């Protein structure tokens, strides 16, 4: 897989989007919370001594690490306001370390476990980045992460003729990326969820509140048209639905 040409503008847009929604993210990130709970079930027990969480955000998954009395924790996120919010909301161990920056360019210490909840779809060079992360693992080190699949928000994207701002690779491709990056895949799971909202407008507002709505790609008239078409095509007695495809992986570093 050839590295993608680096897009600094894309990185800036991601930082801006999540930074603007730091106060509303936890309240509206219901699916990400559910993903965190399921990802936690893939963690080794007990946790190894040193854990790196990339894309920690406001701490949805960090809570699961703290609940297991992690000994040494390294936290990373691309958006400084997210880290600030995390510090406000939870007591971190004294030996915690914060690394603010893009996981694809940041430098990390050696660790025993790397975790990431709903993060890797934002990578520009996933194989290269995962290979770099493999290099930061101690021998026998582990990785566990969740990520979105290509059926995620398919109705929304098709109705609005939108491209996803994230990389929505199929399950087999993520597995191959892991293997090429130097990991042995221990476990892989996938699931499909239907999430219901009162209306298409409510769905869009939810995406806005978690910093994931690509509405700058739409003119005002296009947005109204999308809402009208979506309500007409995907309404049920329970409201309009959206599909989410979720993948979960765990692996260990290959070789010495």
Encode pLDDT of 3-37 as tens digits: 455 576 778 888 887 777 778 888 878 999 999 99
Q: What is the pLDDT at residue 19?
A: 76
Asked whether residue 40 carries a pLDDT value surpassing 90, the answer given is yes
Kindly state the percentage of the chain with pLDDT values over 90.
Answer: 71
Q: What is the pLDDT at residue 1?
A: 41
Q: What is the pLDDT at residue 8?
A: 67
| Comparison of pLDDT for 20 and 85, the residue scoring more | 85
The DSSP symbol for 5 reads P
d(C-alpha 212, C-alpha 62), whole Å: 21
Asked whether residue 191 carries a pLDDT value surpassing 50, the answer given is yes
CB 151 within 8 A of CB 193: no
Average pLDDT, the chain: 90
Q: What is the pLDDT at residue 108?
A: 97
Interval 49-78 mean pLDDT: 95
Task: Show Cβ contacts of residue 224 under 8 Å, excluding neighbours closer than 6 positions.
Answer: none
Instruction: Please report the DSSP string for 25-76 in residue order.
Output: HHHH-HHHHHHHHHHHTTS-SS--SEEEESS-TTSTTHHHHHTTT-SEEEEE
Half-sphere exposure of 199 (CA within 13 A, CB side): 8
Q: What is the pLDDT at residue 126?
A: 96
Interval 83-87 mean pLDDT: 93
Domains of the chain: 8-150+166-193+245-253 (3.40.50.150)
- The 10s digit of each residue's pLDDT in 89-132 is 999 988 899 999 999 999 999 999 999 999 999 999 999 999 99
Q: What is the pLDDT at residue 27?
A: 85
Asked whether residue 231 carries a pLDDT value surpassing 90, the answer given is yes
Weakest mean pLDDT among 46-55, 104-113, 211-220 = 211-220
- Distance from chain centroid for Cα 98: 18
């Amino acid at each position: 897989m050839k590295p993608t040409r680096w897009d600094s503008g894309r990185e800036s847009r991601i930082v801006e989007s999540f930074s603007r929604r730091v106060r509303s993210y936890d309240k509206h990130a219901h699916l990400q919370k559910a993903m965190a709970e399921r990802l936690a079930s893939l963690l080794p027990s007990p946790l190894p001594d040193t854990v790196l969480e990339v894309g920690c955000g406001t701490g949805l998954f960090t809570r699961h690490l703290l609940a297991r009395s992690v000994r040494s924790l390294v936290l990373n996120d691309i958006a400084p306001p997210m880290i600030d919010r995390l510090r406000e909301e939870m007591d971190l161990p004294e030996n915690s370390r914060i690394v603010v920056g893009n996981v694809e360019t940041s430098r990390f210490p050696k660790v025993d476990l790397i975790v990431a909840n709903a993060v890797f779809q934002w990578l520009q060079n996933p194989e290269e980045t995962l290979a770099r992360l493999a290099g930061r693992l101690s021998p026998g080190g582990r990785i566990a992460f969740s990520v979105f699949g290509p059926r995620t928000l398919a109705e929304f994207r098709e109705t609005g003729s939108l491209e996803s701002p994230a990389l929505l690779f199929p399950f087999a491709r993520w597995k191959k990326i892991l293997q090429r990056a130097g990991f042995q895949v221990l476990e892989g799971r996938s699931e499909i969820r239907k999430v219901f909202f009162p209306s298409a407008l409510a769905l869009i507002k939810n995406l806005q509140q978690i910093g994931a709505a690509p509405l700058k790609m739409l003119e005002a008239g296009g947005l109204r048209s999308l809402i009208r078409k979506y309500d007409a095509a995907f309404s049920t007695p329970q409201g309009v639905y959206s599909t989410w495809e979720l993948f979960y992986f765990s692996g260990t570093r290959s070789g010495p």
